[in-house]
Structure formats: structure tokens, C-alpha cells
Structure 1
């Protein structure tokens, strides 16, 4: 019985780590999107190199997270984080606008990402 609890605990810890790595992958994805925007079609070397670094980091972190998280859920969360982060930070770093309608739809994406995370909780067979 004690061994089962240890196994359950280690599975929960692995899941939590995977979700943290997925959040990190999402942050790298935002960095990649903003870097690509700053590179202006890869015509600025520094921004292009930063973009390439973020691209490699986001793919690596995503692949690590997807060892534990289902690919459909993990990819959707990763893409949602990237999309929302780039949309919110685009106006901060570039001459972009964010309308109230866009904010509402970004909130819908955020709600979807949260619900996907909540749906990943293990169900009890008892």
C-alpha cells in the first residue's frame, strides 16, 4: 500500500513538472513570436539570431513536456500561451493595437487553456 502511494506521488510530481516545462515552452514561444516580429522578415541579424534561439528552446521544452502530457492537450495549451502572449505583448514592443473585442477573444483562449489544464487531472477509478 505504501508503495502505491509513492508511485502516485511520483506520477503527480512528474505531471506537475511537465506542466511547468510546458509553461516555459509557452514563454519561449512568445519570445520567438516577438523576435520574429522584430527581425522584420529575418532582415535584422540580432533579432533573427534571438528568434532562432527561442525557436530551438520552445521546441525542446515542448518535446520534454509532451513526454508526459497528451500531445493534443499540450500542443493546444502551448499554442494558446504563444498566441495570447504575443497578442498582449505585441502592442508593448511594436506599433500594434489591441481592441476590446480582441481582448475578449483572448480571454476566451485563456479560459480554454485553463479548462484544458483542469481536464488533465487524473480521474479516480474507485
Structure 2
């Protein structure tokens, strides 16, 4: 069973991942930081994702936390890119995204405390 601190850290890490998706999408919309509104949104998401990630990493090991955070950001941006920016999501890309998702799930499972 996981501790309340561990559960809160994982929820915070998921939130950080969601902010990372927002950051990635807003950077795409900023067109190289040439569109002011998207650029400002990107800065806000950037600060939020770093803040939430730093809170989560107080409890979660940095290697696990960073990998999960990056995986959430990559998968989220790849899945939402076609919706917001008319990008292609091919079957091959979807398959590799599934591999990333499986890796994130296994990393979470690997963070479970071992019985003594």
C-alpha cells in the first residue's frame, strides 16, 4: 500500500505532466515565440510544470519522476497535436506512444514499496 505522501506526489506528478502538455502545445502555437498570446501562455505553463514537478520530486526519485513527467508530456503533445495543429498521428506513431505509456506505467509500478 502506498503512503498518502506518495499518492499526493504521484497526483502532483500527473498535474505536472498535464502542465507540460500545455507548455508543449503553447510553444507550438507561439510559432517560435513570435505570437505574444501563445508565448505568454507558454511561460505560465512552463512555470507551473516546473513548480509541480519540483513538488513531486520531493517524494518520488528524480529518475523515475522525470521519466514519467517527460513521457506524459510527450504522449499528451503527440495525441493533442493533431487536434490543435493538424499534425498526423499515424499507426506507427500511435504504437510507439503505446510503448511510452507502458513504460510510464511500469515505472509507476516499480516505485511501489517492497514488503519487508
Match of 2:57 among 66, 69, 79: 66
SS in 1 for 2:105: helix
| 2:108 matched residue in structure 1 | 117
| 1:4 matched residue in structure 2 | none
Aligned-CA RMSD value: 1.0
TM-score by length of 1: 0.90
If asked which structure has higher relative contact order (CA below 8 Å, sep 6+), I would say 2
SS in 1 for 2:3: helix
| 1:46 matched residue in structure 2 | 37
| 1:104 matched residue in structure 2 | 95
Which whole-Å CA distance do the structure 2 matches of 1:13 and 1:101 have between them? Answer: 38
Match of 1:78 among 69, 73, 95: 69
Distance apart, 1:72 and its partner CA: 0.1
Distance apart, 1:124 and its partner CA: 1.1
> How many residue pairs are counted as aligned between the two chains?
116
- Structure 2, unmatched stretches of 5+, are none
- Structure 1, unmatched stretches of 5+, are 1-8
Deviations 1:68-95 (A, max 9, x none): 0000000000000000000000000002
Find the structure with the greater CA-based Rg.
1
Runs of 4+ aligned residues of structure 1 deviating over 6 Å after TM superposition are none
